[in-house]
Amino acid sequence: MINSWILSNNARLVVEEIPHVRSAAIGIYIKVGSRHEPDHLSGVSHFIEHMLFKGSEKRSAREIAESFEGLGGQLNAFTSREYTCVYARTLDENIFKAADIIFDMVFNSAFSAKEFNTEKGVIIEEINMLEDAPDDLIHDLFFQKLWDKHPMGNFILGTTESVLNCSREEAYKFYKSCYIPSNMVIAVAGQVNKLRIRDLVEEYLQKQSFKETELISPQTQGYYPFINLNNKDTEQVQICIGVPGISYFDNDRYTQSIMNSILGGGMSSRLFQTIREEMGLAYSVYSYPSNYSDTGAYTIYIGTGNNKIEKFFEVLYSEIEKFTSKGVNDNELSRTKQLMKSSIYLGLENVMNRMNRIGKSMLMYDKLIPVDEVINNILSVDKEMVQYFSSRLLDRHKFSLAAIGPVDALNKADKEYRKWSQ
């Protein structure tokens, strides 16, 4: 059973009791991410996430780590474009001890000057690691141009320059302005007592001051197809091509999920089977949607050799043209619906997945979307809906290109893209 409350200081709590398991998970979702950052503080949300683990007013960084290991639990966090999440999983008997640690981290980070300066070096190494992984970097470079001159396009990690120039005082002020109860959703799932959890969370929240966040993010602007070529001496050329997508409020998101699964979302997808399995043009090729509160993207990725670029674009164009003009068949549609249904239900056997589902639902939609409603919406998608949606989304004149590789490969990708998109 799932219950939700609006608690002190307008924080939202959602709890799912699962009596047949021996574990529990807790997540604190803070509605702040890289899109909410001023340009001179690019990457500060991710920096704050790191600082939560570097000690509080009553626990050192070592004590936080040892406390969780002593519980046999797992503690982690991540930062995205629109929110940050700190989460933990433990045995059910230890969830209250885990909650005490995680709330202490979130509300009482010490932000010691020594730890702050040390962590700058850690984050810069993380940025360097991304720079050395072109198959990861290419996606950020695509989004950077897709949302050009808008915070949505900024790197979540920030840049070496923005991290070096970030002052402790500015970061701490930003932290205190957004890590407030009214900007949070707390989600708990597992073998728990919902009333005990509610009372515990209420106790922590009552200690915090009541205020509303002042974070503002401008609306994303108009889109124009772009070419973003990045010279790097690599064995493969990394390519992302894509179009603007839909927000997570759009009712077409279920149709999009089915379309993506059939086109490039898995091993049975058309792009994987044709480009990798039949043609041997790549080891890795896939497509994926990215959905946010007011915008989105749909992206196709491939890493391939210099001598295969022309063939890749030829096959890709053929597959997209076939998809948008002829649609999908009954077998593909049925198989995909069954796959998505199974994936959702199998995911519910993990308390972390269940916690994440209810937390994100409350954070994004301000309500719980029942699993059965999601399944029914997926099952109601028909072939005509997929073809109509794909023909509007996958307009080749709207596609943009980002690529990383040596000059010769970039020139080929540029030529083939222009031939294909214009």
Residue pair 118/158 in contact by the 8 Å Cβ criterion: no
Give just the sign of the alpha carbon dihedral 345, 346, 347, 352.
positive
The residue type found at 186 is I
Q: What is the DSSP letter of 156?
A: T
Q: In whole angstroms, what is the distance from residue 390 CA to residue 320 CA?
A: 9
Residue pair 37/83 in contact by the 8 Å Cβ criterion: no
Q: Is 57 one of the catalytic residues? A: no
The upper half-sphere exposure of residue 374, i.e. CA atoms within 13 Å in the direction of its Cβ, equals: 16
Quick one: angle between helices 351-365 and 330-347, nearest 10? 100
**Integer-rounded Cα radius of gyration of the chain:** 23
199: CB partners within 8 A, 6+ apart: none
**Sheet with 74-79: strands ordered across:** 2-6, 12-17, 184-190, 23-30, 84-91, 74-79
Q: Which residue has the tokens 């994926």?
A: 288
**Catalytic option among 37, 49, 82, 416:** 49
Q: Which residue has the tokens 């047949």?
A: 20
Q: State how far the alpha carbon of 77 is from the alpha carbons of 4, 11, 115, 129, in Å.
A: 23, 19, 18, 19
Buried b (16+ CB within 10 A) or exposed e, 289-321: bbbbeebbbbbbbbbbebebbeebbebbbebbe
142: CB partners within 8 A, 6+ apart: 228, 240, 242, 297, 299, 400, 402
Structure tokens at 122: 């850690």
Q: List the end-to-end C-alpha distance of the chain, in Å, as a whole number.
A: 54
The residue type found at 158 is G
In the three-class reduction of DSSP (H, G, I as helix; E, B as strand; rest coil), residue 322 is classed as helix
**Residues catalogued as catalytic:** 49
